[in-house]
Structure 1
Amino acid sequence: MSYLLGVVLFAVGIALTIGLHELGHMQVARWCGMRVRRFFIGFGPTVFQVTKGHTVYGLKAVPLGGFCDIAGMTALDEVTPEERPYAMVDRPWWQRIAVLLGGVTMNILVTLIVLYGVAVSSGLPNLHADYTPEIGQTGCVKVDPNQQCSGDGPAAAAGIKPGDRILAVDGQPVASFMQLREELAKRPGQTVTLQVERGSERSDVRVDVTSVTRTTAEGKEVTVGMIGVGAAPIKDAIKKYDPVSAIPATGEFFGNMVQATWQGLASFPAKIPGVVASIFGHTRDEESPMSVVGASRIGGEMAERSQWAMFMMMLASLNLFLALFNLIPLPPLDGGHIAVVVWEKIRDFFRKRRGLPPAGPADYEKLMPLTYAMSALLLSVGVLVIIADVVNPIRLF
């Protein structure tokens, strides 16, 4: 029951995230004196709608998106004579950009509010904790992931014990257990020298790295190195703040999230082949893209284990992803529309230098092929990720 409750709550959170994004557009448009015709959450058949003033509010059957229909958003949008004074396309360039940034701004505000709430209630991941890889346990190495193993692994055989800290691999410093794992993975079948810290003493330990075959998220078989060690819990990994100290802590953590999210967006295209491969039974990368279906399932797992802080952090991450994704300067995303407005401004600047009048709104008909292509691509990727989340979902526990 708690799992289903978590799924439902996270799905509602996603719908609210989308709704707040569109609310940001609508509110700024009204502040700028524009007319909002429709404000809907979801796509597909209309579940219900109500008209207040000049705006129709409604909910559609598929809550996977939403839209805010502003009169005269582009030159292609027909407006009535009564709507003409309120058309977005005739407003100053800075007002148009402000409206387009309204949704992004709203999602960023939601992210900050959620992070602040988590900081004072449960605590945020401590960015200044000591992440030096510490051994939690040693064991054997499964050469074949489908078979069991027994006995000591290479690390234990070399004398490495739980509590030891690994400072370097062949003289290369390692700052985290993930980096340690990556360095060892590059050295299958080799003998490496680990700099080991035990208490106040440091020593060099030579370890034979076992070669194992694993399947990547893209479905390729690769040979990597392992020595049979597991990570110890990181001390002070979570830090709780008072209401005052939570303000700078939230800002710092938000900056870290922005950097990580941008990196995730940059690597997004490269992860799509792995998503496709996972549909046909290959191992699903835990860092591969997720749809609202997969995110809701993860939300259910968190709720089932009362991991409400993680639940809220994931909602914060979703809001930030939506904000930054919409800044990509391609139509039909907000960033694409912003790019058009900026282009109009630059174009008119040079026209003015030549003694020419402003050229008016951009011709969106020339952008329609790109808009249709991007829409089709986004829809196709979305369908693929949803299928992967159904047949081979990511599981945290």
Structure 2
Amino acid sequence: MTYLLGVLLVAVGIGLSIGLHEIGHLVPAKKFGLRVPQYMIGFGPTLWSRRFGETEYGVKAIPLGGYIRMIGMFPPRPGQDPMMMRSSSTGRFNQLMDEARKASLEEMRPGDENRVFYRLSTPKKVAIMMGGPLMNLLIAVIIFTGIFTLHGISTTTPQLASVSECVDFTTAAQSTKTECTPDMQDSPAHAAGLLPGDTIRSINGTPTRTWDDVRAAIRTNLDKPMRLVVDRDGQVLTKTAEPIVLDLPVYDDSGRVVEDADGNAVTEKAGFLGTTGTQVLQRQPVTAVPALLGDQVKQTVVAVAQIPSKLVGVYHAAFSGAERDAESPMSVVGVGRVAGEVVSAEELGGVTDKAIFLLGLIGSLNYMLFVFNMIPLLPLDGGHVAGALWEGLKRTWARLRGLPDPGHVDVAKALPVAYAVASAFIVMTVLLVYADLVNPVRLLG
């Protein structure tokens, strides 16, 4: 039951995120006077719908997105009466374009000539199409601002959680150990007399307020002797340590291990002491939130950019039984399974921890929806934004040069790209759903 509860909660969260995304389009569209015949959550057959005013609101069977249908998304061919559209072009793509133009105008009624999307000014078009992605961004910002300021984030402090007694050079990882044999070298931290619970206050005279300060000072010190001032139960002690140089992973600004093109950890020669900091939950001040949110957006952009390369690993995991990367992309099926696993696992914390995880999961999905929809390709929102900006640029350039108005940009000409993008998205979705069924991402091994 708890597993199903987790799946249900994340499904509701995804549904609300999609619904609010479409509200982000619907509200400015109606404000600018457009006629919107439909507001739908999902695709395929309609499960439920009601008409309020001139708009039909409903839910469809396939919960993989949503849409609002605005009349006049594509302008008619130059010289054609929008009320008398017909498909007359030869060539497959030209016919598809004419059919799309006709479909976007087929619900026009007398008096709707100025209630179509293509006649709007560039700022209004951008506002409508940006409304959906910005709604997802707003949802993520609200969720994570609450998590950062009310719950806190896991932070590693300069207080030592563990001190390794020795270093095992016989393993490829040159691992640290607390159970040692006579042939193993003492770790520099143990040799210096450091103990768990010590708090490192400064290194070589430089204050260390965070664990990142400690780690950076040790790594860049290499194998030169270093002086550490530590606080041990209120007593200030000075210790001298002699780090050793090892090949250690490189970390980015977010604390993640940097990987090369093959997914292997990038390493560098760095000083090593043999200590770990203590992780605590710290509430963040509001002033720290913008930087934290900015880092999350950057990480999401990187994650979206890596999707094509990671799909290769997903394919092998799905069809050859290869191990599934824990950070590989997932479908809504995979996200639901992860949510169910977290909620039902006793070892993953209490109710509060699980609620925070689910909120963070929904927030991360909204970041993903924001970034993905901003890709400037049709049929994504970013493609319509790009078309509107191109139209505005052409008109501004013509006005500055004293040329005639170049008219509306025929976004329908980009439909071959839209069909290719939509086809790729469908293939990706089918692959991810299949992989999430036969070889899902597992948090508990």
TM-score computed with the length of structure 2 as normaliser = 0.69
Q: CA deviation at 1:17?
A: 0.7
CA displacement 1:41-94 (0-9 Å, x = unmatched): 111211111111110111111111111111112222214133322111111110
**Alignment partner, residue 375 of structure 1:** 422
**Alignment partner, residue 283 of structure 1:** 323
- 1:353 and 1:154 map into 2 onto residues whose CA distance is 82
- 2:277 and 2:36 map into 1 onto residues whose CA distance is 52
Name which one, 1 or 2, has greater alpha-carbon Rg.
2
| Identity rate, percent | 32
Q: Equivalent of 2:279, from 229, 235, 255? A: 235
Map 1:256-295 onto structure 2 (within 5 A): 256-279=295-318, 280-295=320-335
Q: CA deviation at 1:135?
A: 5.0
CA displacement 1:238-297 (0-9 Å, x = unmatched): 2236xxx44x34333212211211222222222221221221222222221121111112
2:374 is aligned with 1:327: yes
Q: CA deviation at 1:309?
A: 0.9
**Alignment partner, residue 80 of structure 2:** none
Q: CA deviation at 1:38?
A: 0.5
**Alignment partner, residue 81 of structure 1:** 109
2:343 is aligned with 1:303: yes
Q: CA deviation at 1:396?
A: 2.3
Distance 1:347 1:17, change over 3 A: same
**Alignment partner, residue 201 of structure 1:** 239
Structure 1 residue identity aligned to 2:132 = G
Q: Equivalent of 2:292, from 253, 259, 272? A: 253
Cα RMSD between the aligned structures? 4.1
- 1:142 and 1:4 map into 2 onto residues whose CA distance is 46
Q: CA deviation at 1:341?
A: 0.8
Q: CA deviation at 1:209?
A: 7.8
2:143 is aligned with 1:114: yes
- 1:208 and 1:355 map into 2 onto residues whose CA distance is 67
**Alignment partner, residue 9 of structure 1:** 9
Q: Is the 8 A contact 1:219 1:274 kept in 2?
A: no
Secondary structure of the equivalent of 1:235?
Answer: strand
Structure 2 residue identity aligned to 1:70 = M
**Alignment partner, residue 189 of structure 1:** none
Q: Is the 8 A contact 2:158 2:277 kept in 1?
A: no
Q: CA deviation at 1:334?
A: 0.7
TM-score computed with the length of structure 1 as normaliser = 0.77
- 2:341 and 2:277 map into 1 onto residues whose CA distance is 21
Distance 1:290 1:154, change over 3 A: farther
- 1:74 and 1:12 map into 2 onto residues whose CA distance is 33
The farther-off stretch of 105-114 and 352-361 is: 352-361
Q: Is the 8 A contact 2:154 2:279 kept in 1?
A: no
- 1:155 and 1:107 map into 2 onto residues whose CA distance is 57
Q: Is the 8 A contact 2:321 2:439 kept in 1?
A: yes
Structure 2 residue identity aligned to 1:336 = G
Q: Is the 8 A contact 2:247 2:267 kept in 1?
A: no
Secondary structure of the equivalent of 1:43?
Answer: strand
Structure 1 residue identity aligned to 2:109 = P
Q: Is the 8 A contact 2:152 2:283 kept in 1?
A: yes
Structure 1 residue identity aligned to 2:363 = A
Structure 2 residue identity aligned to 1:294 = G
- 1:277 and 1:293 map into 2 onto residues whose CA distance is 18
Distance 1:122 1:290, change over 3 A: same
- 2:329 and 2:182 map into 1 onto residues whose CA distance is 35
Secondary structure of the equivalent of 1:381?
Answer: helix
Q: Is the 8 A contact 1:219 1:283 kept in 2?
A: no
Distance 1:333 1:234, change over 3 A: farther
- 1:366 and 1:53 map into 2 onto residues whose CA distance is 33
Q: CA deviation at 1:156?
A: 6.3
**Alignment partner, residue 68 of structure 1:** 68
Secondary structure of the equivalent of 1:85?
Answer: coil
Q: Equivalent of 1:100, from 129, 135, 142? A: 129
Q: Is the 8 A contact 1:22 1:66 kept in 2?
A: yes
Q: CA deviation at 1:231?
A: 8.4
Q: Is the 8 A contact 1:112 1:254 kept in 2?
A: yes
Q: CA deviation at 1:322?
A: 0.6
Structure 1 residue identity aligned to 2:279 = K
2:363 is aligned with 1:336: no
Secondary structure of the equivalent of 1:331?
Answer: coil
Map 1:79-228 onto structure 2 (within 5 A): 79=106, 80-82=108-110, 83-126=112-155, 130=157, 157-159=185-187, 163=196, 200-206=238-244
2:409 is aligned with 1:390: no
Contiguous gaps of at least 5 residues in structure 2: 76-100, 173-178, 203-210, 231-237, 249-258
Q: CA deviation at 1:387?
A: 1.8
Q: CA deviation at 1:221?
A: 9.9
Give the aligned length: 365
- 1:323 and 1:303 map into 2 onto residues whose CA distance is 26
Q: Is the 8 A contact 2:18 2:65 kept in 1?
A: yes
Q: Is the 8 A contact 2:169 2:184 kept in 1?
A: no
- 2:182 and 2:368 map into 1 onto residues whose CA distance is 41
- 1:60 and 1:385 map into 2 onto residues whose CA distance is 21
Structure 2 residue identity aligned to 1:235 = Q
CA displacement 1:350-395 (0-9 Å, x = unmatched): 3334433222222233211111111111111122222222222222
The farther-off stretch of 296-305 and 153-162 is: 153-162
- 2:5 and 2:38 map into 1 onto residues whose CA distance is 31
